[in-house]
Structure 1
Amino acid sequence: MVSIVILAIAVLIRRLFSRFIVSRIHSWSSSKVGLNRTIVEALAPPIQFIPIVLAVFIIGECVLTNQRLKEGLLQIDRSLTAFTIFWALFEVIGPLCAVLDGRTPIFSQAMIGWTVRVGRAIIVALGATAVLEVWGIHVGPVLASFGLVGVAVALGAQNLFKNLISGIFIIGEQRFRNGDWILAEGIVEGTVETIGLRTTKVRRFDQAPVFVPNSYLADNAVTNFSQMRFRRISWIIGLDYSTTIGQLRDVRDAIEEYILGSQDFVHPPEAVAFVRVDKFNESSIDVMVYCFTRTTVWGDWLKIKEELAYAIKAIVKKAGSDFAFPSQSLYVEAVPTGIELFPHNTAPSSDPTNGTGVVGKAVPKGGVA
């Protein structure tokens, strides 16, 4: 009955005890060491368990008279003590690493998350080892006996370790962070949600999650669109071959004037901006338009690109030129006997191709074109 009363008192006062200790730590740390408040708050759950550990100790030392039962309860109390210590370390490692966020470039959100996960795994392993040692189970010889098995497992888990190491390099090199829009050709395109120990979770634009092994993202080229400073527009505009030299100059100068006169585009020398007659193509005279927009937001970029297309259309029309399209012309040098180019004595129209795109279309005499 005394033991039950002691345990009941410990359970009832544990929250009050935790609040008192946490408030004392707050007042002491604010004046002495300046601990982050979240670190102290993380200690609250383990501190609540301390009265129960003390109650078990008091019961074992002062209440119980049976020696075997007393030794067993004290053994349990030592296990609970080790459990409480490692529980506190497990809880505090998260906010402790969060304090490092932004202190140096390497301490990014992804690196902190990875460090917290690895640190908590190590703490759990050490805590389990400490508890087993309390009960007389020596972990060292057991681990040594599994050495050969560990080698075999390591050989069979090469991909696992490769992905673990690749994850470290991805975070250390800061290839991308959580929230970045990335593209790995032939692998995935989307927004990074989590860089895990073995895989990286990428959310595609159709909201489907893709779990990509870290080695794929470490060994292949990855484009990080979220780290763009500007966004590129690269076009080839084909003008008709009937365009004169003066019209070509007018079109080129007007497009360049539009780009350099708009604040939506990046101007030299901050970034290049080219509008040049590029080459004589099979069906067109090609004009290259190469420039960058200040915005990297996809929707805004599409709007600016649309306005540029409207402007180029108006510029080409104003210059008296036109856009080219793929076409072929057929020239007939001699017409075989019995073949009429224009059956039924039909006079040729103003269009020499008769709307067919073929000059001098040959049809059988008396036939229907």
Structure 2
Amino acid sequence: MTSSSFTTAIAEGPLMELPIDTNRVRIIRNDAEAISTAHALAKRYAQEAATRDAERRLPWKELNEFSYSGLGGITVPREYGGADVSYQTVAEVFRLLSAADSALGQIPQNQFGVLGVVKALASEEQKAHWFGLALKGQRFGNAGPERGTKTILHQRTRITEQKGQGKLSLNGTRFYSTGALYAHWIPTRALDEQGRAVLAFVPRSAPGVDVIDDWSAFGQRITASGTVTFNDVQVPLEHTLPVWQIANKPGLTGPSSQLIQAAIDAGIASNAIDDAIQFVRENARPWTDSGVALASDDPYTIHAFGRLKIDLHAANAVLQEAAATLDEIARQPIDDKGSARASVAVAEAKILTTEVALEASERLFELSGASATRAKHNLDRHWRNARTHTLHDPVRWKYHLLGNYYLNDVLPARHQWN
């Protein structure tokens, strides 16, 4: 479907409903239930993951399954009806989903960031409203960073007051809008008339909202992380949050977002290694000089898989250690040092999960042989997905963050990529 035809379909309305039967939405009560639900959902996601990627089949059915599973509300605080699961559980849920289909693991990531902002900034009425919608299966997407600006933090999207109307007007064009295509709500950042950052919640069906399916990257194909435009979109004041108030305060907004990114990469690595093992066992031939009958008996291949498994185990262990650090810090008032420690812990995990995802998805072919490159297997999706997703934030700057922290006692910059 082309961008223009999809835009027409939106204008006509049939895809705008995204109906969710709230009576079917599960309420998850605890961490163990969240992880068992993720295991079950991941098992279903894995069945057609290669086909969805190859055909770029947009996963409407699968995302409704996500809504009905109740996983979208697992971080809602208990006093509002949620499970308020730990960061360790959040990381494991995203790792499991991403090991089945990394695009379906990535699509809901922004929902958890948005709910974190609601928890930090919203009034009691706003919390009851937005948390309640999450528990009813509503999906929150994202209108991401803009293109053509000096850096990823610069923006031109504006939200201005409509005099005497009690509403605001939102105007701008965003890109990298993961999840917006499939969302019921599209939260986006905009600058108010004082130049301060505000988070505005906009229904995907609102007049003036145009979601364009123009995501054309070679990886994470079905995330539909394309363009969203806002043309004089009316936003009630109560549908905004003053995110400028937490911009310079110590917190876990950045580290929690990065933790999910690291979990997605860990999932990609796990999937790539599992597929490589299966292919070597069932399809690969041993090299002629090896003197063995089976590719799985090749000593160099055995050594390589041992190394990959060790690297994956280390990455997963540091990922869980980072999540446990966030859990510890979240239980107490967060100061500059605590916020920095969280960023450092997650940076360490992000480095290891990035590197093992890229290494595993590349070595898959070296260990499996030329037949693994045949299009019918679609094994290249692992590398394409790893390479695309890990570009969200450069690992070279994670090393810089760590080195500067340990060597020079410099606290990491505070933003959503740290």
TM-score (norm 1): 0.25
Structure with greater contact order relative to length (CA < 8 Å, sep ≥ 6): 2
More strand by share: 1
TM-score relative to the length of structure 2: 0.23
The structure carrying a bigger helix percent of its residues is 2
